[in-house]
Amino acid sequence: MFFSLLFGGCQIVTSLLGNVNGKLAEADTALKAGDLATAAAKYDEAVKAAPTNVDAASGAAYLKMLAGDYAAADALLAAAEPAAGARAGEVKLRRAVVAVRSGDVDKAREPALGSGLAAGKLLAGEVDLANGERDAARALLTEVQAEPGAIGAVASEYLRLMGDANPLVAGLSEAQALWALGQRKVAVRSVEDLVKAYAESAADGDEQVLIWAGRAATVGEPDVAFSLLDAIAVSPPGQAWRVQATRGIALCASGQGDACVQVFEGLANSAPGDGYADARLSAALAAVESAPAAAQKLVEGMEGDNAARVLAALGDKSAAAGVAADPVFKSQLGG
């Protein structure tokens, strides 16, 4: 959520005149076209000309983050922060996002909270929850639960879970926070008993079990996925196909490629088109390492960025670039 909110598209508001203004406009145009090399060069030129310009630093940091150089991304934002004025909170929150993307979740809390923004308080609350600091998390989440849109809705859901009398259900809030912060394997490994306990009393219990089974399958934890699927007594209304598709993804993740492919062949005429395509690509991604032949078969005829990720992981970057939709991703693949 925070990554796309703060960096997605990286639309530049060119507040400076002359050379910096021109470099930012050129960088923005190149980025939209997927020309990452040109965009990175233009942002770097803008930063050299105006190291404290928030737009230049944000654009350059975005490109550094795409390249996996999180330390450089943070350094660029840190240099711009002292002179950012009214936009200092925005810069701090971007630094928190960089920390999360780098995997250093604890490092994200201070800049997220220091931003003073509702999104920052939510992120800091998630870090507290992930660390088991429920009282601190509750205070922050309570502050933002009245916010409109996704921020308030997410905070309210965390608070609902935390307030449950069943400690296992309350613990599900921590697993949710871990998942949101990108600590996905840790979340899945901790969730089995928690989500089963939730299902015993909640109206949407089987739906939550199915969601977490899908998450487990897609992050390479098929044993957890199978256990959760076996706990679903009755498929949620209209979701029988999804239960089967999730089992197929788990089969792919466990290396049972032929069985996985058979599941998806059996669903081809009964599952809804978009949902089927998404699940099939998830299965292909899960099979890349454990059952590459199945991954190749599942991705045949598919297009879009997830299909491109499968093909790239299978070693065919040319084919991946040919089906990728996002220009930035296509550029990364060499297309």
Q: What is the CATH number of the domain that holds 89?
A: 1.25.40.10
- Give the pLDDT confidence of 230-247 residue by residue, as tens digits: 999 889 999 999 999 999
Residue carrying structure tokens 């990286």: 10
The tokens of 315 are what?
């070693």
**Structural domain boundaries enclosing 67:** 2-134+210-332
Residue 223 lies in a domain: yes
Low-confidence ranges of the chain (pLDDT < 70): 1-19, 335
Give CA torsion, residues 163, 167, 170, 176, to 10 deg: 170
Q: How far is CA 29 from CA 5, 20, 32, 47, 245, in A?
A: 19, 14, 5, 17, 40
Give the pLDDT score at 124: 98
Residue 215 lies in a domain: yes
Give the pLDDT score at 13: 37
Residue 263 lies in a domain: yes
Residue 70 lies in a domain: yes
Total number of domains constituting the chain: 1
Q: Give the CA angle between residues 148, 153, 155 to the nearest 5°.
A: 110
Q: What is the pTM of this model?
A: 0.87
Go through 227-246 and write b for each residue having 16 or more CB atoms within 10 A of its CB, e for each that does not.
Answer: bbbebbeebbeebebbbbbb
Residue 218 lies in a domain: yes
Give the pLDDT score at 10: 43
Residues composing the chain: 335
Give the pLDDT score at 333: 84
Give the pLDDT score at 335: 64
Residue 67 lies in a domain: yes
